[in-house]
Chains A and B, each alone.
Chain A
Amino acid sequence: MLVIVASLLQPFSSAWQHLFDTVLQDYITNSLLLMAGVGAGTLILGVSAAWLTAMCEFPGRKILSWAFLLPMAMPAYIIAYTYTGILDFSGPIQTALREAYGWQFGDYYFPEIRSLGGAICMLSLVLYPYVYMLVRVAFLEQSTAVLEASRSLGKKPWQTLFLVALPMARPAIVAGVSLALMETLADYGTVAYFGVSSFTTGIFRTWYGLGELTTAAQLCAFLMLFVFALIMAERWSRQRLRFHHHSAQKKMARLQLNGWRSMLAMSIGSLIVFLGFVLPAAQLSIWASTGWQEKLNAEFLRLLFNSFSLAAIAAVCCLLVAVFLAYTKRVFASRIELGAVAVASLGYAVPGTVIAVGVLIPVAWLDNQIDFLSTTWFDYPTGLLISGTIGLLVFAYLVRFLSVALNTVDSGLTAIKPSIDESARSLGATPSRVLRRIHLPILRTSLLTALLLVFVEVLKELPTTLILRPFNFNTLAVRTYELASDERLMDAALPALAIVIIGLLPVLLITKSILNEPFSNE
C-alpha cells in the first residue's frame, strides 16, 4: 500500500499532461457513472432480496433464500462473456429476431450489451449478493420488538421497511454496497471487454501501453484517496449513531404473502436468480458440453485441488486477521486505530494487479537484502526466500480481501452492545469467557459469512494469482482467464463452470447453517 502512496512523492511526468488533455475526464466520468449505477443496482436487488426472504413468507422462500447467493460464485468477466454471447448482434436472440422479421442491421433498436449500461447490469447481477448477505443477517438480527412496535402503531409493512428496518440495517447496507463498489472499482475484465474506459482500464493502459509504471501508480493512489475519502465520510456520517439492539431475541412471524403478492415475490426472486445465475450457467454448460470428457483429466483435478486449498487457506488467514483487527478497534476505539482499519480495507478497491505489484516489489527487495547480507556475512546465498511461494500469494490475498472479512465481522460486532461485555465482565467472566460464551455464538453468522465471502473471492481471483504464483502452479481462474482471453469461450467454459460449482459448495454448506439458525443467543 505504501509503495503506491509513495509514488505520489515522485515527480509527475509529462504523461499526466497527455492524460489530462485527452482521456482522464472520460475515465473519471465513466467510473463515477459505473459506481452510481452498480451502487443503485446492488442496493435495490440486494435489499429487496433480503427483505423478501427475511421478512416475508411465500412459496419457494426457502429455496430462494440460498439461491439468491448463487450469482456470487459467478466471476464478473465470465458473466460478461456469456451475456455477450447471448445478446450480441450476432447472438442467437438478435439473429432470431432478424430472421423472424426480415430486419437488417439498423432496422431496429436493441440495447448494446457492450456498453456502460451493460457493464452496470453485469456487475450488479453478480455483486448484489454482498448486499443481500449482510442485509439479510441484519434484518434477521433486528430487534423484533422495534419492528412489532412499528407494526402495532399502524404502519404498513413497507412503511416499516423504510422507516425502521432499513435505517436500522444501515451499517450492513453500507458495508455491502461499499464492498460491491470497491469490487466495481477494482474490476478490469468486464469493463475492458465492454470497451468502457474506466479509471481502472486507464491505470493499465498507462502502465502497459505507455510504459509509465509511476504514472499508473499515481493514478492508483488517487483512486485510493477517493475511496478513503468515501469510507471516512460514511463513518463520520454515522459517528453518533448506535445500532445495537436491546430486546431478547425471538423469532418474528414472517409476513404471509398471499395471492398476487406471493406470485410477484416469487417471480421477482426467480427472475433475479435466473438472470444472475441460471441463464449464464446454462450457457456455460452448453459450451462445456462439447468434449468435456477429454478435458476432465488428472491435470484438471489438480487445478480443482489447487484452487480449493488456496481459497480455504486464504479464507482462514483473512478471518483470523479480520477478527483481530475488529476487536482491536472495539477495545481501543481510538482515532488512529480507526484510521488504520480504514486503510487496511482500502486494498479491496485497488485492482488486483496493482496490489500484486505493491506486494511483489517490497518483498523481492527484502528477499534480495536478506540474500545480500547472508552472502556477505555467512557466504551462504539464500536466494529468494519468500518471492514465488504460496506464502506470498496468501499474503497478497490478505491485503486484497481483508476488507471483505473485516467489514462483515465489524458489522456483526457492532450489533453487540458494549454493555453486554461490561455486565458479563462485572459478573466475573474472563475476557476469553466473554468471547467464547457471548460473542462467538452471536457472531457465528458473521464469521461464517466472512469466511465464505473470502473463499469465493479467492476462488475467482485472477490478477494477483497470475503474477505471484510459483512455477507450475495453476488454478481454475488462471485457466479460465487464459482461454477466455484468447476468445476460446467454449474451452474456457469447463473451468469456469468448475469455479462456479466449487464456489457453490461453501455457499450451500454455510448458508444451511446461517439459514437454519439465524440467531442462537444463549
Chain B
Amino acid sequence: MAIRTLFFSALLMLIAPMYSVAADEVNVYSARQESLIKPLLDRFTEQTGAKVNLVTGKGDALLTRLKSEGMNSPADVLLTVDAGRLYRAQEANVLQAVESDDLNRLIPSHLRSADNQWYGLSVRARVMVFAKDRVEANQLSTYEALAESQWKGKICVRSSSNIYNQSLVAGMIASQGMLQTEAWLKEFVANFARPPAGGDRDQIKAVASGQCDVAVVNSYYLGGMLLSDDQAQQTVANQVALFWPNQKDRGTHINISGAGITQSAKNIELAQQLIAFLASDESQEWYAERNNEFPVREPVKVSAVLESWGPFVADKLNVSELGRNNAAAIMAMDRAGWK
C-alpha cells in the first residue's frame, strides 16, 4: 500500500508543472544567485502582493533555455550579472523594448541598452588591490601601466575564462582599439606572478601573503572579505588596500548586473514594476549593504565599506560595448597566452 501511494505521489510530482500563469505572478530567470536576489523579490511580494517565481542559473544556460522555449516560455524577466549576456540576449531577440519613463529616469543611459531592451541595476567595479607594506598608492595609475616592466612577476589576476576579465579587455578594445590592446596584453601577461588560478578572493590572499604585489579584482570581493565572519579573511583584507585605476582618464572599468523583459512575457506591466522596484532607492541600498555593489545612480546611500573607498570616476562607456567586444577580447587573450 505504502509503496503504491509513494509511487503515485512520485508520478504526480513528476508531471505537475511547478509554475502557473496567474495574473498576479511574475516569473524570473536569474543569473544572479538566489541569496543575492530572493530577499529583494520577497520584499517586492510584500509590497505588491504579487508572487515572484524564481529559477537561477548561469547566464548563457538560462538564455539557451529561454531561446528554446520560445514564445511559450514562462519567463517574464531575465536577470544577468554582466552586460555581455544582456547584449547577447538582445542579439538573440528574446527581449522586448519597454517604454518606461520611470526606468529611463532612474537609470543613466550608459547603463542600459539604446533601445530600452535592458536596464542596469547595480554596478560592479574592477579595481586594483595592492599590498600596503610593499606598494605606495602613487606607484599605481592605470590598467595600462600594469604592463610596465617594474611590475614583472608582481601581478595576480584570475583566468581569462572569467567574464569580468573578458569585459575589462573588451572595454579596453572599445576605447583603445584592438592593436593597442593586444600590445598591452602581451606585456601585461608577461608580468604575471603565477599562472592564473582561483577566484578573485584568492588573488587578494596572494597579495596579502606576498606572492604578488598587485591584483585586479572586483571590489565587492574585497568588501566581502572585510565584512566576513571569518577572522582570517578580515586579517587578509586589512593587509591590502584598494586603488581606483584610470581616475585621470576614462575612469575605472565597470560592469553591471541588469534585467530585461522577455518577448514571451505574459505579465509585462508587473515585470516592469519589478524592474523599477529593483532600481528603487531601497533596493539600491540593499545591493550596497548586502553585496558591496555600487548603485546605478546618485544619490543613494551606500554602505560604510563603500563609503570608506571614497568616490570614484567610472568609465562612461556604454556597457553594450562590453558585450559587442567580448568574443574579440577572448581571442586576443588567447593569443596573448592569458590562460
Contact = CB atoms under 8 A, between A and B. Distances in A.
B326 A211 contact: yes
A94 B88 CA distance: 43
B58 A467 contact: yes
B64 A313 contact: no
Interface residues of B, number: 67
Interface in A482-503: 482-483, 485-488, 490-491
B331 interface: yes
B209 A89 contact: yes
A511 interface: no
B161 A290 contact: no
The listed residue with most B CB atoms (<10 A of its CB), out of A104, A207, A469, A487, is A487
B290 to A, nearest CB: 12
A48 interface: no
Interface string A193-235: 1110100010011011111110000000000000000000000
A254 to B, nearest CB: 39
Contacts of A213: 64
Given A211-B88, A384-B69, A490 B209 contact: no
Interface of B: 10, 13-19, 21, 27, 33-36, 53-62, 64-65, 68-74, 88, 158-159, 161, 163, 166, 194-202, 205-206, 208-211, 221, 224, 228-230, 236, 326-327, 330-331, 334-335, 339
A471 B19 contact: yes
Contacts, number: 186
25 contacts: A22-B331, A22-B335, A84-B198, A90-B205, A90-B209, A194-B197, A195-B158, A290-B229, A357-B64, A360-B65, A364-B70, A384-B17, A384-B72, A388-B17, A389-B14, A467-B62, A470-B19, A470-B55, A473-B18, A482-B34, A482-B35, A483-B35, A487-B221, A490-B229, A491-B35
Given A290-B229, A482-B35, A384 B74 contact: yes
Interface in A355-403: 356-357, 360-361, 364-365, 367-368, 371, 383-385, 387-391, 394
A194 B161 CA distance: 12
A209 B14 contact: no
A510 to B, nearest CB: 19
A290 B231 CA distance: 11
Contact of A472 (B36, B54, B70): B54
A389 B72 contact: no
Given A192-B159, A210-B327, A357-B64, 13 more contacts: A18-B331, A195-B339, A209-B163, A290-B229, A364-B69, A368-B70, A384-B72, A389-B18, A390-B14, A391-B15, A466-B57, A466-B58, A479-B34
B33 A390 contact: no
A105 interface: yes
A474 interface: yes
A468 B210 CA distance: 43
Contacts of A491: 35
A387 B161 CA distance: 30
A60 interface: no
A311 B320 CA distance: 41
Nearest to B74: A388
A58 to B, nearest CB: 40
A158 B88 CA distance: 60
Contacts of B202: 84, 88, 114, 487
Interface residues of A, number: 74
Nearest to B70: A368
Contact of B330 (A104, A210, A309, A384): A210
Nearest to A393: B14
Interface of A: 18, 21-23, 84, 88-90, 94-95, 104-105, 112, 114-115, 192-195, 197, 201, 204-205, 207-213, 287, 290-291, 309, 313, 353, 356-357, 360-361, 364-365, 367-368, 371, 383-385, 387-391, 394, 463, 466-474, 478-479, 482-483, 485-488, 490-491
Contacts of A389: 14-18
A219 B64 CA distance: 18
Given A18-B334, A391-B14, A482-B33, A471 B53 contact: yes
Contact of A195 (B17, B195, B201): B195
B54 A368 contact: no
B206 A90 contact: yes
B33 to A, nearest CB: 4
Contacts of A104: 210
Given A313-B10, A466-B56, A88 B205 contact: yes
A344 to B, nearest CB: 21
B198 A474 contact: no
A390 B18 contact: yes
